[in-house]
């Protein structure tokens, strides 16, 4: 239990930090890709749609799972707080409240990662839909 107590914050924050880094990287990559996109580079609607939706699944996975990673950190933090109370026989309100408040920071960080990622995902998904429609209209006008 001491190992868990010592390293849970580092592990949970590390995972959420990695998720945030990947989300930012995917958003920047998509924005740069959309900036240099030309319809002439693609021979079919399917190849175009595949190209413009790349990395969208990664963003979906991150915004869907970041709150759960944060919640896992909170649950483990609460378990550690109760374990410490049981082992020491100390039911001091101050130590309980401090332990629980520290545990809740993992959930807050999980939401801090998930909410902007969801916003970016929805904005990019809207852009994907518009580009797909423009591509389709452009190909129909060329016929």
Q: What is the pLDDT of residues 19-66, one digit of tens each?
A: 999 999 999 999 999 999 998 889 899 999 999 999 999 999 999 999
Give residue 111's pLDDT band: very low, low, confident or very high (50, 70, 90).
very high
Among 27, 12, 28, residue whose Cα is nearest residue 110? 12
Mean pLDDT (the chain, rounded):
90
For residue 16, what pLDDT is reported? 96
For residue 19, what pLDDT is reported? 98
DSSP-derived secondary structure for 115-137: HHHHHHHHHHHHHHHHHHHHHHH
Domain around 21: 2-142
For residue 139, what pLDDT is reported? 81
Measured distance CA(50)–CA(47) in Å, rounded: 5
Q: What percent of the chain has pLDDT over 70?
A: 98
Max Cα separation, the chain?
A: 80
Using CA atoms of 136, 138, 139, 143 in order, give the dihedral in degrees to the nearest 10. 130
Give the chain's length: 143
119 backbone dihedrals φ, ψ, rounded to 5°: -65, -45
Q: What is the pLDDT of residues 60-108, one digit of tens each?
A: 999 999 999 999 999 998 888 888 888 877 677 777 787 788 789 999 9
Contacts of 113 (CB under 8 A, 6+ apart): 16, 19, 20, 23, 62, 66, 70
**How many domains is the chain built from?**
1
**pTM for the model:** 0.87
Reading the block at residue 98, the tokens are 């401090």
Measured distance CA(135)–CA(64) in Å, rounded: 30
Among 92, 21, 3, residue whose Cα is nearest residue 59? 21
Among 52, 65, 66, residue whose Cα is nearest residue 124? 52
């Amino acid at each position: 239990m001491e190992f868990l107590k010592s390293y849970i914050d580092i592990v949970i924050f590390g995972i959420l930090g990695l998720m945030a880094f990947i989300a930012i990287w995917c958003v920047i990559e998509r924005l740069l890709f959309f900036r240099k996109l030309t319809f002439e580079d693609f021979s079919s609607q399917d190849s175009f749609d595949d190209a413009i939706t790349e990395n969208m699944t990664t963003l979906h996975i991150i915004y869907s799972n970041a709150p759960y990673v944060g919640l896992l950190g909170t649950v483990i933090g609460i378990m550690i707080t109760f374990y410490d109370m049981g082992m020491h026989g100390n039911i001091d309100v101050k130590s309980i409240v401090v332990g629980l408040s520290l545990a809740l920071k993992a959930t807050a960080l999980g939401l801090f990662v998930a909410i902007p990622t969801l916003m970016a995902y929805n904005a990019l998904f809207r852009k994907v839909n518009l580009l797909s429609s423009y591509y389709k209209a452009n190909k129909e006008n060329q016929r």
